Structure 1
């Protein structure tokens, strides 16, 4: 296990008044998880999502799957 701090990133499309989430994908290959947090509350709770589920979700967003 590592004590490395996550590198938080938000989407380049998230310039919408702060209504977005941040994800730290840098450790996904070694931990198998992606931490996700509310960008408005960076010291608040963090959800940990399985990396495969996060990838599926992002791919669904990119392919517009959720607007059908």
Structure 2
């Protein structure tokens, strides 16, 4: 079973992106589907997000 985490910036809202360790990302409004990411792709994504 995958544990999905929401960003601490989400607050009490349900309109967010969730991250599942080793699985990928998903939209909290459509939890039945997700996008699988390699660890390299996840690292590249975080690098871009942090640079903004």
In the TM superposition, structure 1's runs of 4+ consecutive aligned residues that sit over 2 Å from their partners are: 14-19
- Which residue among 27, 38, 44 is the counterpart of 2:27? 38
Q: In the TM superposition, what are the counterparts of 1:1-68 in structure 2 within 5 Å?
A: 5-15=1-11, 17-25=13-21, 28=22, 34-42=23-31, 44-64=32-52
- Larger radius of gyration between Structure 1 and Structure 2: 1
In structure 1, stretches of 5+ residues that fail to align are 29-33
User: What is the alpha-carbon root mean square deviation over aligned residues?
Assistant: 1.9
